Amino acid sequence: MALVAATYGLVRLAYGLLLPDVQAELGLGVAAAGAASAGASVVYCLCAAVGFVLAARLPRALVAAAATGAAVGAVGMATAGDATVFACSAILASSGAGLASPALVALLQRDRAAAPHPRLQTVVNAGTGPGLVAAAALAMLLPDWRLVWLVAAVVAVAAAVATLLLHRPASAGGSDAALAPSARWLAAHVSAIAGALLLGVGSAAAWSFGRSILVDAGASDTASLVAWVGIGVGGTVVVATARPLERLGPRGAWLLTAGATGAATAALAAGASVTALSLVACVVFGWGYTAASGALIGWTASIDPGRAAAGTAMLFVVLVLGQAVGAAAIGVVAEGVGLAVAFAAAAVVTAGGAAAALVARAPRHAARVAAD
């Protein structure tokens, strides 16, 4: 859980948290910041693809590689003397999150104590929320934004070392490799793929420029940091709402949570200058985005339970690729017409992603898809 908190919350997603400070000191433009965020998302996807191929055979090596990528990138950001070095380091740092997730899934499946308890996968993946809260707390407590990245690097390495030392491998089991998905399987995921892509594009506004829009609207550094804590708190609250969302079914849960993400983005566009509204919007965004990610897992599992892992990998890669496209596009739009208009457009795109659940057909032929 600490490794996820470090690679996701403290490194990958803290980019948007510290962006205003970086822009003020290094002169990183809005469009360039969006391009760097897009590059980081592409690297995340490439590393996730590598991880899902190699995790079954080399999970420990991937844990070490995840910590190394995150730590080296974080140190590069902390010591960057110009915007170019910072942007390249941010892109490299995102590799840690892409490698960590598949590696930790494989390690938990092979650990003598953890393997009998599937719920521990959920506990590990929930590390993002506390990581975001920790990043905001460090930003408030430390006198320099560069120190936050140095702490993140130390935490990533320490978490990886602890993970490898505490891992107790069980006896070797069967192969985790699955048969290649069929065309019918892919066709059954069309609505889920479209929803994940549009959510990724729309959510990039808050992830990359959430704190920037608050600062531009006149929020103090403390208020904008507290709002970022709200995103992490919202993500953590997902654990408490998991049961009622499960009753809605994956498509109902997707419609509600992705819709809430879009509504929160629209609220930030319209009321970034109102402290209470922006704080509530950040909490709702954190809850909606994290819960929507979980709904994607349930969605693919309802189509073909036997390939839920493969479906999750595919949808998460699509989600992050959407964030890459969205970050670059929003940066360009914001530079031309302002962040408020860019956030409003992102909210519309996210709402379109939520609507994908309305056109999705129930998996009445799930058995046939699985048989393929």
List pLDDT tens digits, range 103-144. Answer: 887 787 778 887 676 556 666 777 888 898 899 889 889 989
Max mean pLDDT range (9-23, 276-290, 311-325): 276-290
pLDDT at 215: 86
Whether residue 284 has pLDDT greater than 90: yes
Rounded distance, CA 56 to CA 369, Å? 24
pLDDT at 224: 82
Residue 211: is it exposed, middle or buried by C-beta count within 10 angstroms (0-12/13-18/19+)?
buried
Rounded distance, CA 242 to CA 248, Å? 10
Q: What is the mean pLDDT of residues 52-74?
A: 90
Rounded distance, CA 200 to CA 353, Å? 9
Q: What is the mean pLDDT of residues 81-106?
A: 91
Contact 345, 331 (CB under 8 A): no
**Rounded to whole angstroms, what are the CA distances from 20 to 58, 100, 174?**
38, 27, 49
What is the full DSSP assignment across 41-78?
Answer: HHHHHHHHHHHHHHTTT-HHHHHHHHHHHHHHHHHHHH
Question: What domains, with CATH codes, occur in the chain?
Answer: 1-168 (1.20.1250.20), 181-372 (1.20.1250.20)
Contact 185, 302 (CB under 8 A): no
Number of Cβ within 10 Å of residue 332's Cβ equals 15
3-state secondary structure of 111: strand
Which residues, 6 or more positions from 92, have their beta carbon under 8 angstroms from its beta carbon? 43, 69, 72, 73, 76
Q: In the predicted model, what is the mean pLDDT of the chain?
A: 86
Whether residue 302 has pLDDT greater than 90: no
Band of the pLDDT at 367, cuts 50, 70, 90? very low
Q: Which of 45, 44, 35, 55 is nearest to 11 (CA)?
A: 44
Lowest mean pLDDT segment, chosen from 76-80, 200-204, 318-322: 318-322
Band of the pLDDT at 305, cuts 50, 70, 90? confident
Whether residue 371 has pLDDT greater than 60: no
pLDDT at 178: 46
Q: Measure CA of the first residue to CA of the last residue in the chain; give whole Å.
A: 35
Rounded distance, CA 234 to CA 291, Å? 9
Rounded distance, CA 38 to CA 201, Å? 10
pTM for the complete prediction? 0.78
pLDDT at 265: 96
3-state secondary structure of 171: coil
pLDDT, tens digit, 9 for 90 and up, residues 221-230: 788 888 888 9
Q: What is the mean pLDDT of residues 313-330?
A: 87
pLDDT, tens digit, 9 for 90 and up, residues 256-271: 999 999 999 999 999 8
The beta-strand segments (E) located in 56-182 are none
Q: How many residues does the chain have?
A: 372
pLDDT, tens digit, 9 for 90 and up, residues 139-184: 889 989 999 999 999 999 999 999 999 988 875 544 444 455 678 8
Lowest mean pLDDT segment, chosen from 29-43, 86-100, 279-293, 300-314: 300-314
Whether residue 368 has pLDDT greater than 70: no
Max mean pLDDT range (25-39, 122-136, 303-317): 25-39
Strand partners, 111: 169
Which residues, 6 or more positions from 238, have their beta carbon under 8 angstroms from its beta carbon? 126, 129, 287, 290, 291, 294
Q: What percent of the chain lies above the pLDDT cut of 90?
A: 43
Q: Which of 210, 248, 237, 195 is nearest to 334 (CA)?
A: 210
pLDDT, tens digit, 9 for 90 and up, residues 215-250: 888 888 788 888 888 998 998 888 788 878 888 888
Q: Which of 138, 167, 347 is nearest to 262 (CA)?
A: 347
Q: Which of 190, 170, 172 is nearest to 181 (CA)?
A: 190
Which residue do the tokens 């129930």 mark? 362
Whether residue 10 has pLDDT greater than 70: yes
Whether residue 85 has pLDDT greater than 50: yes
**Rounded to whole angstroms, what are the CA distances from 310 to 52, 191, 226, 247?**
9, 16, 36, 24
pLDDT at 201: 95
